[in-house]
């Protein structure tokens, strides 16, 4: 086997054999296939696709590149959730402690930012002292004591995916459905969770722009999970508009705490509860009431214990960007559009995301929204506030926001769309 022949096979729209897939994943993990060669293969996969058997074998090879976890010692049923990524998608932060407060164990292996979408680990690392890297034993200990853990996948868990995940972010291949599906499901299956709920985003701020592509991705992942004995269900949710009122690391942590305190934006609360109900149902905890756990403070209690268990201080002040710039409404009327991709790109340009896999992120950078579609706005009133430590980035971010919002005359008949678009099981 050699990397060039594998690349040529997929470049020429051929089907990769089981032997080719097993070899290239193993060789890349060992360093025998260079990043630039895997980049070429990833681009060929994005352009020419894979059939279901190829995806299944690719996923199995990713799993086989490392170890598999075992949660059998836990007394609670395990349930996990994964989002395909969006703008302002901070749902994991309130969801994990909420589901744990209802009796499940939530082993939430999360990632860092990919392109214009934020990463859960980047967000939580804005909390002073919090650490993403735990050993398997530490992860199990936190799960046992607290009921929820959010951490990075260990080096031994699907190491092939860890390398490929970072590479996709900087080579324009994040959107490849076979690579998204295999990346997510290899980690989740190797992680050993008993059930999994997928939040597949659809719209301008998501990697899947169309409902058709999102359904294909969801069905692919549900099939992979089911074939490996993991009860898997997917919700397709709207990402044409940012979720909540913030996009950026510390900004989103602050908003998540508001949700756990019984407040927060209505769309964040709606999706958190919908996913919680799916996770609890998949785990067999059908009598649990997540709305009650959110209202009575028990979810907040688990959040505080979870943050402390990973070295963080839940009472510490979160980082705040040194500079802000306010974008005002150019006219009065009803805000009828606010493009999620543009907002995510602006947050990325302000420092909330990374251009290279080794880049650091600014904890306080991001975009704060003062109105969502359907709201009445007044000319000159704040529409967005941009946050960064690097004021020379404002102009770059403002370019991304050019044409990002539309304002119509009052009475134009605007109505907001549904947040939850479909369910696939």
Is the same domain home to 331 and 304?
A: no
Annotation says 204 is catalytic: no
Is the same domain home to 145 and 181?
A: yes
Identify the helix (H) or strand (E) that includes residue 150.
Answer: strand 148-152
Q: Does pLDDT of 88 surpass 80? A: yes
- Mean pLDDT score, 343-357: 89
Selecting among 82, 162, 188, 231, the annotated active-site residue is 82
CA 325 to the chain's CA centroid: 27
Q: What percent of the chain has pLDDT over 70?
A: 99
Is the same domain home to 91 and 233?
A: yes
Selecting among 10, 123, 187, 188, the annotated active-site residue is 187
CA 337 to the chain's CA centroid: 23
Q: Does pLDDT of 357 surpass 70? A: no
For residues 26 and 61, what is the distance between their CA atoms, to the nearest angstrom? 8
Annotation says 356 is catalytic: no
- Mean pLDDT score, 258-277: 97
Least confident of 10-19, 170-179, 306-315, 397-406: 170-179
Mean per-residue pLDDT of the chain: 94
Q: What percent of the chain has pLDDT over 90?
A: 83
Give the chain's largest Cα–Cα span.
65
Annotation says 82 is catalytic: yes
Is the same domain home to 131 and 199?
A: yes
β-bridge mates for residue 337, sequence order: 406
Q: How confident is the model at residue 120 (pLDDT cuts 50, 70, 90)?
A: very high
Selecting among 39, 110, 183, 195, the annotated active-site residue is 183
Higher pLDDT, 270 or 113: 270
Higher pLDDT, 66 or 113: 66
For residues 373 and 416, the answer to whether their CB atoms sit within 8 Å is yes
Is the same domain home to 250 and 111?
A: yes
For residues 268 and 264, what is the distance between their CA atoms, to the nearest angstrom? 7
Q: Can you say whether the dihedral through the CA atoms of 316, 318, 322, 324 is positive or negative?
A: negative
Q: φ and ψ at 385, to 5 degrees?
A: -120, 125
For residues 164 and 42, the answer to whether their CB atoms sit within 8 Å is yes
> Looking at residue 130, what is its pLDDT?
97
* Token output for 271: 């999706």
Annotation says 238 is catalytic: no
DSSP class per residue in 332-380: SEEEEEE-HHHHHHHHIIIIIS-SSTT----TT-EEEES--TT-EE-TT
- b/e sequence 12-47, b meaning 16+ C-beta within 10 Å: eeeebeeebbbbbbbbbbeeebebebbbbbbbbbbe
- Any residues with CB less than 8 A from the CB of 150 and at least 6 apart, and which? 92, 93, 96, 108, 110, 120, 121, 124, 132, 306, 310
Q: How confident is the model at residue 61 (pLDDT cuts 50, 70, 90)?
A: very high
- Mean pLDDT score, 362-385: 96
Domain with 388 in it: what CATH number?
3.90.1170.30
- Mean pLDDT score, 98-125: 90
Annotation says 161 is catalytic: yes
Looking at residue 330, what DSSP letter applies?
A: S
> Looking at residue 228, what is its pLDDT?
87
> Looking at residue 205, what is its pLDDT?
93
> Looking at residue 153, what is its pLDDT?
80
Is the same domain home to 390 and 295?
A: no
> Looking at residue 103, what is its pLDDT?
97
Residue 331's domain comprises: 323-408
Selecting among 90, 163, 168, 231, the annotated active-site residue is 168
pTM for this model (two decimals): 0.90
> Looking at residue 398, what is its pLDDT?
98
> Looking at residue 117, what is its pLDDT?
82
* Token output for 165: 């995940």
When divided into structural domains, the chain yields a total of 3
Q: Does pLDDT of 412 surpass 90? A: no
Domain with 108 in it: what CATH number?
3.40.1030.10
Q: φ and ψ at 168, to 5 degrees?
A: -60, -35
């Amino acid at each position: 086997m050699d990397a060039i022949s594998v690349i040529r096979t997929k470049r020429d729209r051929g089907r990769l054999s089981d032997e080719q897939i097993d070899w290239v994943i193993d060789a890349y993990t060992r360093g025998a296939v260079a990043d630039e060669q895997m980049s070429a293969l990833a681009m060929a996969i994005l352009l020419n696709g894979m059939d279901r058997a190829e995806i299944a074998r690719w996923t199995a090879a990713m799993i086989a590149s490392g170890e598999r976890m075992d949660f059998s010692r836990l007394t609670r049923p395990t349930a996990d959730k994964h989002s395909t990524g969006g703008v302002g998608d901070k749902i994991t932060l309130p969801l994990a402690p909420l589901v744990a407060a209802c009796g499940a164990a939530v082993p939430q292996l999360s990632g860092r930012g990919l392109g214009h979408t934020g990463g859960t680990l980047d967000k939580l690392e804005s909390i002073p002292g919090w650490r993403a890297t735990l050993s398997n034993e530490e992860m199990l200990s936190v799960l046992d004591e607290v009921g929820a853990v959010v951490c990075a996948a260990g080096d031994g868990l699907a190491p092939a995916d860890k390398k490929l995940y970072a590479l996709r972010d900087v080579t324009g291949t994040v959107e490849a459905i076979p690579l998204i599906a295999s990346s997510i499901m290899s980690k989740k299956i190797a992680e050993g969770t008993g059930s999994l709920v997928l939040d597949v985003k659809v719209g301008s701020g998501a990697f899947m722009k169309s409902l058709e592509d999102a359904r294909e991705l969801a069905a692919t992942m549900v099939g992979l999970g089911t074939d490996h004995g993991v009860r898997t269900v997917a919700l397709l949710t709207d990402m044409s508009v940012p979720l909540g009122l913030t996009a950026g690391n510390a900004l989103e942590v602050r908003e998540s705490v508001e949700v756990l305190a019984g407040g927060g934006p209505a769309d964040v609360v709606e999706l958190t509860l919908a996913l919680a109900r799916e996770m609890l149902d998949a785990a067999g905890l059908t009598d649990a009431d997540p709305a009650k756990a959110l209202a009575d403070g028990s979810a907040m209690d688990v959040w505080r214990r979870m943050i402390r268990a990973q070295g963080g201080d839940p009472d510490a002040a979160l980082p705040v960007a040194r500079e802000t710039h306010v974008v005002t409404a150019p006219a009065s009327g009803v805000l009828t559009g606010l493009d999620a991709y543009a907002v995510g790109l602006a947050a990325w340009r302000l420092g909330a995301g990374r251009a290279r896999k080794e880049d650091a992120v600014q904890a306080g950078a991001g975009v704060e929204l003062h109105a969502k579609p359907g709201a009445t706005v007044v000319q000159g009133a704040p529409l967005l506030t941009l946050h960064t430590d690097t004021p020379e980035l404002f102009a770059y971010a403002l370019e991304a926001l050019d044409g990002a919002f539309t304002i119509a005359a009052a009475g134009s008949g605007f109505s907001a769309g549904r947040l939850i678009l479909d369910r696939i099981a």
